[in-house]
Structure 1
Amino acid sequence: MLNSFKKLFSGKRLIILISFIIVSLILWNTYVFFKKFKQEEREKMEQFAYALERVGNTPNLDADMNLELKVLENNEIPCILTSVNGSIGEVHNLDENRTHDPFYLQDQLAKMKRQNKPIEINYLGRKEYIYYRDSDLLQKLTYYPIALILILGLFLGVIYLFFNSSKIADQNKLWTGMAKETAHQIGTPLSSLLGWVTILKTENINQEYVAEIEKDVDRLNIIANRFSKIGSSPNLERNNIIEITHNIFSYLESRSSKQVDFSFQTSNNEMYTKINKELYGWVIENLIKNAIDAMQGKGAVSIDISEDDQRIFVYVSDTGKGIPKSKFNQIFKPGFTTKKRGWGLGLSLSKRIIEDYHKGRIFVKKSELNKGTTFEIQLYKV
């Protein structure tokens, strides 16, 4: 198991390193291409400036200006000519519908001044400056590295989720193996205890004591069966949920503080559903023990079972400290606990047992701070 974790970790680091190198190379090539393309645009604008200067300063109208005119016609880079004092003259390749707007022109001129150095020309006998901004293609190219980084982030996120899920799967296998091994280890002394209980029944001992010991031994056997079922698909059988719930309720009532008031109510003595007795009992036990802890050993715990045409509803209520509404879903996550002791697995296991194994639902029906909480379990009738 340790070697597999090492391999997993090394593989993740290698993929991240390779991804970083690839992206770095792409970003570097993009930067080189950007600088080269920007330099080519500068050269085009210098050619445009020269052609404009030649056309404006040539007095002979019969002179051959075909090349210069062709350069001027083929220029697609937005530019503005200004005088020495900054007043705007000619405008090229800007939105024709807005060139009459001085605010638009000043805004475009400000962008051009930020992006590129002006080109000085002698035009029509006076000094002027040509300001230009990057072409649309070059501007799109500036956003390419950002898009690439976002794609890399998404890619690394997918990698992280993949390896994290693999790690969680390996951890689940480890916990499953430990649970089954625990059940196996409990089995040996449990068999011995069963033998001792049989012997005690033949001795001159108060049989009430022996009966209570036998209940605890049976309880250990149930716990061992629960652990043995972790990680495997449990066998569901048609059972009377009223009887099973009441047995667990009575067992916990007899072993709890007398300061806790227990109440069990049901609309019918028989309600049948397909459940696994050990695992369902684990859920009820978790809810009752959590209720007692929430009340700090003093208060009231009640179970109310009702039904409709299709479902059975089990309500477990207490008069404890309550749960904030913001944590109604969070309490079912593995590791969440408000206790000084405990791993925060009880409600997580309960949710898995009810929803994954029994195809039912479990959730916080209502809760008020310092007044109490009610959990609701829904199971389908058979």
Structure 2
Amino acid sequence: MNLLNNTHILKRIAILISLIIVSLILWNTYIFFQQFKTEQRIKMEILGIAQKELANADLNADITLQDKIITTNKNIPLILVNTDGNIESFQNLDADKSQDPLYIQRQLEKMKSENRPIEISYKGTNKQFIYYRNSDLLNRLTYYPIALILILFLFLSVIYLFYSSNKASETNKLWTGMAKETAHQIGTPLSSLLGWIAILKMEKVNDSYVSEIEKDVARLNTIANRFSKIGSKPELKEENIVRVTKLAFDYLASRSSKQIRFSFGASKEQIPVLLNTELFGWVIENLIKNAIDAMQREGLLTVQVENTAKKVKITVSDTGKGMPKKLFKQIFNPGFTTKK
């Protein structure tokens, strides 16, 4: 129990550490994005200052630095607008699409929505505004946190599935252990019952009584074997599936209400297949029991075994009330029942 508790604690610690690591990655990415965006704005402000100094420079002034600042901008799209809102120039827009004034206008509106403009004041009252858009690199970076979040969700989903499967595995192991222990407990009195049957035969007790007791003891032995095989790999042998199906059918038919009519049919007397007789018989018995319950102890129950080219089809049909069509896909799920 302590080992199980420690395992659960370690799992929770691992999940917590993973969440912290991924959260730190997301936070650092956000900080990096904001810093990159700030640096881009500073670059635009420097470009605006260079534009202003270039416009206000004397004819003999050295404008090499200002010109270099303006011309080295190769990745940030920008549009220069005057105080009247008219576009005076633009830079780093698509060369072909820039021939269309509507395209430039749409780009301007997009720039207005993304960033505050850089104001350039010249001598006198003249002003210009630099509108700019995030660079392609920055735009690509905006998708990076989204990708990380998706990775986070995927990561958490994998952890959840792993944790759930482990828990289901532990539950299955528990049920398997209980089933095997039940089989062991049943086996102990069975040995005694077999001894008592031998004594009854020696005492010349009515053979019909002893025969019925033997059948029930054999039945208990079959049930014990079924429980002992839960969780183990089934051992398959070549058996006549018609005979095995008929045995399960006859056993329940002889112990059911006389108001139920039973009918068994097979396309062949011998259909050899690889199966585990005890587990297969268990399945057939459950199907027949469900059919009997559905008919409320009165009606017709039919079992038909058909051999096709590659498969054997076994049909268990009854004249019961049936079930809603929406439940058809659930009827073979473990634990599913319509009984109340």
> In 2 relative to 1, CA 23–267 (structure 1 residues): closer, same or farther, beyond 3 Å?
closer
C-alpha distance in structure 2 between counterparts of 1:254 and 1:124, whole Å? 112
Q: CA deviation at 1:124?
A: 8.5
Q: Which residue of 2 aligns with 1:38?
A: 37
Task: Compare 114-123 and 197-206 and name the one that shifted more.
Answer: 197-206
**SS, match of residue 332 in structure 1:** coil
Does residue 95 (structure 1) correspond to residue 65 (structure 2)? The answer is: no
Q: Which residue of 2 aligns with 1:160?
A: 160
**SS, match of residue 81 in structure 2:** strand
Q: CA deviation at 1:87?
A: 3.1
C-alpha distance in structure 2 between counterparts of 1:181 and 1:223, whole Å? 13
**SS, match of residue 120 in structure 2:** strand
C-alpha distance in structure 2 between counterparts of 1:335 and 1:165, whole Å? 18
Q: Which residue of 2 aligns with 1:15?
A: 14
C-alpha distance in structure 1 between counterparts of 2:192 and 2:215, whole Å? 15
Counterpart amino acid of residue 177 in structure 2: G
Q: CA deviation at 1:263?
A: 0.9
Calculate percent identity across the aligned residue pairs: 59
Cα displacement string for residues 52-107 of structure 1 (whole angstroms, at most 9, x for unaligned residues): 122223352x4321111111111131111223343333221111222243443333
2:68 to 70, 75, 98: 70
Asked if structure 2 preserves the Cα contact closer than 8 Å seen for 1:119 and 1:130, the reply is yes
**SS, match of residue 82 in structure 1:** strand
Q: Which residue of 2 aligns with 1:300?
A: 300
Counterpart amino acid of residue 252 in structure 2: L
Counterpart amino acid of residue 93 in structure 1: N
> In 2 relative to 1, CA 4–42 (structure 1 residues): closer, same or farther, beyond 3 Å?
same
Q: Which runs of 4+ in 1 moved over 6 A?
A: none
C-alpha distance in structure 2 between counterparts of 1:259 and 1:86, whole Å? 95
Q: CA deviation at 1:13?
A: 1.2
Task: Compare 237-246 and 173-182 and name the one that shifted more.
Answer: 237-246
C-alpha distance in structure 2 between counterparts of 1:79 and 1:301, whole Å? 83
Q: CA deviation at 1:16?
A: 1.4
Does residue 107 (structure 1) correspond to residue 112 (structure 2)? The answer is: no
Does residue 336 (structure 1) correspond to residue 336 (structure 2)? The answer is: yes
5+ unaligned residues in a row in structure 1: which ranges? 341-382
Asked if structure 1 preserves the Cα contact closer than 8 Å seen for 2:57 and 2:63, the reply is no
Q: Which residue of 1 aligns with 2:127?
A: 127
TM value normalised by structure 2: 0.89
> In 2 relative to 1, CA 228–79 (structure 1 residues): closer, same or farther, beyond 3 Å?
same
> In 2 relative to 1, CA 103–318 (structure 1 residues): closer, same or farther, beyond 3 Å?
farther
Asked if structure 2 preserves the Cα contact closer than 8 Å seen for 1:8 and 1:163, the reply is no
C-alpha distance in structure 1 between counterparts of 2:109 and 2:28, whole Å? 29
Does residue 316 (structure 1) correspond to residue 291 (structure 2)? The answer is: no
Task: Compare 293-302 and 239-248 and name the one that shifted more.
Answer: 293-302
Counterpart amino acid of residue 69 in structure 2: V
**SS, match of residue 19 in structure 2:** helix
> In 2 relative to 1, CA 320–5 (structure 1 residues): closer, same or farther, beyond 3 Å?
farther
**SS, match of residue 303 in structure 1:** strand
5+ unaligned residues in a row in structure 2: which ranges? none
Counterpart amino acid of residue 236 in structure 2: L
> In 2 relative to 1, CA 22–219 (structure 1 residues): closer, same or farther, beyond 3 Å?
same
C-alpha distance in structure 1 between counterparts of 2:9 and 2:231, whole Å? 28
C-alpha distance in structure 2 between counterparts of 1:26 and 1:91, whole Å? 37
**SS, match of residue 334 in structure 1:** coil
C-alpha distance in structure 2 between counterparts of 1:9 and 1:107, whole Å? 57
Q: CA deviation at 1:174?
A: 1.6
Counterpart amino acid of residue 77 in structure 1: I
Asked if structure 2 preserves the Cα contact closer than 8 Å seen for 1:79 and 1:130, the reply is yes
Q: CA deviation at 1:179?
A: 0.8
Does residue 149 (structure 1) correspond to residue 167 (structure 2)? The answer is: no
> In 2 relative to 1, CA 4–86 (structure 1 residues): closer, same or farther, beyond 3 Å?
farther
> In 2 relative to 1, CA 310–117 (structure 1 residues): closer, same or farther, beyond 3 Å?
closer
C-alpha distance in structure 1 between counterparts of 2:319 and 2:106, whole Å? 67
Asked if structure 2 preserves the Cα contact closer than 8 Å seen for 1:186 and 1:224, the reply is yes
Asked if structure 1 preserves the Cα contact closer than 8 Å seen for 2:33 and 2:141, the reply is yes
The alignment yields a C-alpha RMSD, in angstroms, of 2.4
